[in-house]
Homo-oligomer: A and B are copies of this chain.
């Protein structure tokens, strides 16, 4: 790794707020000088970038759980990469790291913003997905808020997605019946065959409501919801008493200018359900336990993940737009340099 440090790099900056579905002109690729690391900092060459649904919320005009991005900001996102130059203790050239380093070729960061990762244990990209914030999100929502007990039924929306696929596998490890909801027959097959769910229901099928009821003959004890909207409405009447709904996201709603209006909320009362919105960044204390269990499941072969990788930073906006529309399988990533 005795490369000449680069002088120029690419960034993708936020150019325009979307109305509804984002378009590529909401983003702009710019060339900027590479900032040199100061004392106590490192320069990271970003290798792979993670694009996630939460970014859509940060494109709004109004703050949600996180502050919105300003026009001109570098797009937010986690990356894995290698240290190119270190002026910080504990980091050496060549170390692999993960952090929220943004949509760009190179990033300067302090040690508090970076975690070293073990690429001998698992591929670097796993630390953006099943062994990283995605897997921890699944773990926190399911274990801390879903509190599944052996023999109960755990239902997951967006089950072929990065978070959903981990939720079902963790539920199986806890002795639960894991049932997914996904869009289309091939995603449903993946959820069952690759991720080992007991069943998966296609929400695009005309008999969705009946198929869903058949798939949960004992009712639903935990509904891990990634999507909100009409699917939440379809699930509410199937909940058991004292069911828990960890609400991890509302991906069906992010692009909607008029929100879907939920009809069956009375089931929350009738069934004494707990519906709880959560965001990973509030639960840093749970990372160590979550990571330990995820790595253990991965090493024993009980945590399978899939990735959809777009090639080239310039294609990150389209990858993000496609991911919001459900075109990805598993974790949506972007290889920064391209193939």
Contact = CB atoms under 8 A, between A and B. Distances in A.
A241 to B, nearest CB: 7
A265 B64 contact: no
Interface in A42-90: 57, 64-65
A3 to B, nearest CB: 43
A261 B262 contact: yes
Contacts of A279: 272
Q: How large is the interface on A (under 10, 10 to 19, 20 to 34, 35 or more residues)?
A: 20 to 34
Interface in A260-302: 261-266, 268-279, 282
Interface of A: 57, 64-65, 228, 232, 241-242, 247, 249-250, 253, 259, 261-266, 268-279, 282
B272 A275 contact: no
A249 B272 CA distance: 11
8 contacts: A57-B270, A65-B270, A250-B266, A250-B269, A259-B266, A268-B276, A272-B276, A272-B277
B282 A277 contact: no
A141 to B, nearest CB: 12
Contacts of A249: 269
Contacts of A57: 270
Contact of A270 (B64, B266, B274): B64
A273 B277 contact: yes
Q: Chain B CB within 10 Å — which of A241, A265, A270 has the most?
A: A265
Contact of A278 (B228, B253, B263, B272): B272
Contacts of A65: 241, 269-272
Q: Chain B CB within 10 Å — which of A228, A269, A274 has the most?
A: A269
A261 B229 CA distance: 11
A269 B241 contact: no
A151 B318 CA distance: 47
Nearest to A261: B261
A66 B38 CA distance: 66
Contacts of A268: 247, 275-277
B276 A274 contact: yes
B277 A253 contact: no
A261 B279 CA distance: 25
Contacts of A242: 282
Nearest to A66: B270
A17 to B, nearest CB: 17
Contacts of A261: 261-263
Contacts of A247: 268-269
Nearest to A264: B259
Closest 6 CB pairs between A and B?
A: A261-B261, A269-B277, A64-B270, A275-B275, A274-B276, A268-B277
A242 B278 CA distance: 9
A259 B265 contact: yes
A69 B265 CA distance: 23
A232 B232 CA distance: 18
A228 B269 CA distance: 10
Given A57-B270, A274-B276, 17 more contacts: A64-B269, A65-B241, A65-B269, A65-B270, A232-B265, A247-B268, A247-B269, A250-B266, A250-B269, A253-B266, A259-B263, A261-B262, A261-B263, A262-B262, A268-B277, A271-B277, A275-B275
